[in-house]
Chain A
Amino acid sequence: MLLEIKDIHVHYGKIAALKGVSVEVDEGEVVTLIGANGAGKTTTLKTISGLRPLSSGQILFEGKDISKVPGHKRVLMGIGQSPEGRGIFPGMTVVENLYMGAFARKDEVEKDLQEVYDLFPRLAERKNQAGGTMSGGEQQMLAIGRALMTKPRVLLLDEPSMGLAPKLIQQIFEIITEINRRGTTVLLVEQNAQQALQVAHRAYVLETGKVVRSAEASALLNDPQVRAAYLGGGAEAVAPPEG
């Protein structure tokens, strides 16, 4: 088991955001967390990265308890994240943002930079543009590319499709599949459950801070209850026509 979250509880002040969440992610998998707003998806990812403190529970990475490891060290261990809202450093250029991803690393980074450019040619074109002036979609690519620069064993993606134009959303999901194919484990949080379930192997459903379902992604995709709650009845009806 690469990443194992065991019954974690997390609070914001007095409000409990997570009330016992357990999630497992195996090497090579794409796992997705879905759930309504405020269910605690972002909080889960932040806690894995060490941005929020645990009130109780455990996080194991490669079998080791990392609950007490400070966030910046978790990055070195192989936990990378592309955060909700992208978190681009607005005053730094695209390359500088990418180099930030390799901040804690001491090994050769040029090769990885090239790989990111291969994955997102747009970033290579805009190397020297300030991150803050990139469009929403471009920033999303930059955020994912930057997370890849940390050379993660597991990549946490928080709503990578949020606010993107339909065309870009398709691209992003294709890229996630590609990243996974190249060997990176992915934990994906999405509102866009339909597509998330299509690229994922397994999925967890979160409701108000608790896991209420977990299953093969394809199983959930066809589950009437899940369809009703998270996929929306009429989703396909208004799909743009082909060609």
Chain B
Amino acid sequence: MSETAAVPAEKRVGTPALELRGITMRFGGVVAINDLNLTINEGEIFALIGPNGAGKTTVFNVVTGVYRPTEGQVLFAGGRIDGKKRYQVTKRGVARTFQNVRLFHNMSAMENVLVGTDAHHRAGLASAALGLPWHRREEREGREKARELMEFVGISHRMEETAKNLPYGDQRRLEIARALATDPKLLLLDEPAAGMNPTEKEQLQGLIRKIRDTGRTVLLIEHDMSLIMGISDRIAVLDFGQKIAEGLPAEIQSNQRVIEAYLGVPADAS
């Protein structure tokens, strides 16, 4: 995480990190995404919002290789990643969290993060079975890195606990740590604040900023407007699989179409 951090922020903004070109995703009769074009720049926090069922999670699934898009291309760091195997996408530098937490429930928090660090480890079966020195070195380094990451997201006091016994908020943080362990250039967060209370949401906001400040790009799905408006650099709004608006937070907030489709006419504060 240190190499990119050295580059000044203003220089990076503007270089595309992730590009979706003409993505369409169909499930039988359902068109979940319809001819979507989207460019996310290096070093920004980009938010994807929209009504339930608009296709946001599907975008994540297409980017991370869970689905192969029916049409269109996904470009990341200059190369196409659509149709690539999921673990290859991860190795290229895209990591994600899940809308419904999907930790390895019965493994300890530490082990969860270690699985992430393993993404870049090389030791094979033989060196592991024989306990060869470079395998041991990797193991040591992995642990070191995992420890740092758990400190970074603020759960270092629960390292040895079984994942599912962590409070929900900590589970979400652990998911983030695990994703960061794969050393991603682009981090996708799917409703990270769901089920958090306002205080926790504020802490989360700080964490996401910190992640961006280590030089990573963040693509974020959220329904919580205070969070979105508080940290996003840019926002795109999806409805029925189509992009209906894109722009700065202030622009989106006052966009009539967005208000109709998504925000609703507020009776009271969010």
Contacts and interface: CB of A to CB of B under 8 A. Distances in A.
Interface of A: 15, 36-38, 85, 133, 135-138, 159, 162-168, 170-171, 191, 193-195, 198, 228-243
Given A36-B200, A191-B196, A193-B197, A167 B264 contact: yes
Nearest to A198: B268
B268 A167 contact: no
Contact of A37 (B50, B168, B223, B229): B168
B53 interface: yes
10 contacts: A37-B200, A165-B223, A167-B51, A168-B52, A170-B264, A232-B199, A234-B226, A234-B230, A240-B225, A242-B265
A137 B52 CA distance: 6
Nearest to B267: A170
A136 B52 contact: yes
Contacts of A240: 225, 253, 259, 263, 266, 270
A41 to B, nearest CB: 11
A36 B270 contact: no
A138 B259 CA distance: 19
Contacts, number: 116
B265 to A, nearest CB: 7
B270 A235 contact: yes
Contacts of B266: 166, 170, 239-240, 242
Contacts of B264: 165-168, 170-171
B129 interface: no
A167 B223 CA distance: 10
Given A135-B53, A232-B202, A163 B194 contact: yes
A49 B201 CA distance: 30
B248 to A, nearest CB: 14
A163 B229 CA distance: 17
A232 B253 contact: no
Contact of A230 (B199, B202, B230): B199
Contacts of A195: 268
Given A133-B30, A163-B52, A194-B269, A230 B195 contact: no
A52 B45 CA distance: 41
Nearest to A36: B197
B22 interface: no
A138 B168 CA distance: 25
Interface string B181-210: 000000000010011111111100000000
Q: 9 tightest A-B contacts by CB?
A: A232-B198, A135-B53, A167-B264, A38-B167, A136-B52, A239-B269, A37-B168, A236-B269, A238-B226
A94 to B, nearest CB: 15
B165 interface: yes
A45 to B, nearest CB: 15
Interface in B238-270: 253-254, 259, 261-270
Contacts of B52: 135-138, 163-165, 168
Nearest to A167: B264
Given A159-B195, A232-B198, A241-B254, A165 B262 contact: yes
B267 A232 contact: no
B169 interface: yes
B156 interface: no
A157 B226 CA distance: 24
Contact of B226 (A133, A229, A235): A235
Nearest to A234: B226
Contact of B262 (A38, A167, A230, A237): A167
A240 B262 CA distance: 11
Given A37-B200, A170-B266, A240-B266, A163 B191 contact: yes
Contact of A163 (B99, B200, B268): B99
Contacts of A136: 52-53
A37 B169 contact: yes
Nearest to A85: B100
Interface string B86-126: 00000000000001100000000000000000000000000
A170 B269 CA distance: 10
Contacts of A135: 51-53
Contact of A162 (B194, B261, B269): B194
Contacts of B261: 167
A208 B225 CA distance: 28
A138 B202 CA distance: 29
B167 A37 contact: yes
Nearest to A208: B167
Interface string B38-64: 000000000000111100000000000
